[in-house]
Chain A
Amino acid sequence: SSGLTQDPAVSVALGQTVRITCQGDSLRDYYATWYQQKPGQAPVLVIYGKNKRPSGIPDRFSGSYSRNTASLTITGAQAEDEGDYYCNSRDSSTYYLEVFGGGTKLTVL
């Protein structure tokens, strides 16, 4: 299977911890990459590789894995973390094919 499955929406209270998950068979073979997208803007890379953050991404963002599930954890969510989060990986069958999850809309309450 080439699909990546994400929960459509998740909410978190300000300052609390939230986990956004991404499930798919390809995650047994490839790392997930995570992007944050705010309305009207291009996606921004937040986590890549095993658990790497680009320069400028706060350390409250972290990535983890278990079997066929990748997780993005925000520890101490801030209002500015609200947005859509997409996971991305390669397809297990067609190695060059990049696939994205359907996205998770994060609301910070």
Chain B
Amino acid sequence: QVQLQQWGAGLLKPSETLSLTCAVYGGSFSGYYWSWIRQSPGKGLEWIGEINHRGSTNYRPSLTSRVTISLDTSKNQFSLKLASVTAADRAVYYCARKNSGSSSPGSHYYYMDVWGKGTTVTVSS
């Protein structure tokens, strides 16, 4: 059974860079997109971006200038960096595996089927 274990600094000062890593255990790294999602206190879920096993990335347009998602296939890990954090970046950050299926030839659907436990990130001077 695939499990995601995530870690990283939980307390940052404004303007610092958030850095989180997610390790994939018990499953293949290939064939999936690996995602980061965050949830501000008392709020809903917000997709940050994703990377596939070939290193192809997609980012939330509003965060593109500050976010970098990378991977280390030798360790089955992927990472999130978010530069120049502010109080607005305070959230629980989740890593997740994005899986896919096909309902008909040429038509795919996607879903996040495995999630990490989340890392609480606070931004305070």
- Residues of A at the B interface (CB closer than 8 Å) are 30-31, 33, 35, 41-45, 48-50, 52, 54, 86, 88, 90, 94, 96-103
A108 to B98 CA separation, bound complex (whole angstroms): 30
- Residues of B at the A interface (CB closer than 8 Å) are 35, 37, 44-47, 50, 58, 60-61, 94, 98, 101, 103, 109-113, 115-118
Total number of residue pairs linking A and B with CB closer than 8 Å: 63
Is B111 touching A49 in the complex (CB atoms < 8 A)?
A: yes
- Measured between beta carbons, the chain A residues less than 8 angstroms from B117 are 41-42
Is A42 touching B118 in the complex (CB atoms < 8 A)?
A: yes
- Measured between beta carbons, the chain B residues less than 8 angstroms from A103 are 44-45
- Measured between beta carbons, the chain A residues less than 8 angstroms from B115 are 42-44
- Measured between beta carbons, the chain A residues less than 8 angstroms from B35 are 98
28 contacts between A and B (CB under 8 A): A31-B109, A33-B110, A33-B111, A33-B112, A41-B117, A42-B94, A42-B117, A43-B115, A45-B111, A48-B109, A48-B111, A48-B113, A49-B101, A49-B111, A54-B113, A88-B45, A88-B111, A88-B112, A90-B110, A94-B61, A96-B50, A97-B60, A97-B61, A98-B35, A98-B47, A98-B98, A100-B44, A100-B47
- Measured between beta carbons, the chain B residues less than 8 angstroms from A98 are 35, 37, 47, 50, 98, 110
- Measured between beta carbons, the chain B residues less than 8 angstroms from A41 are 117
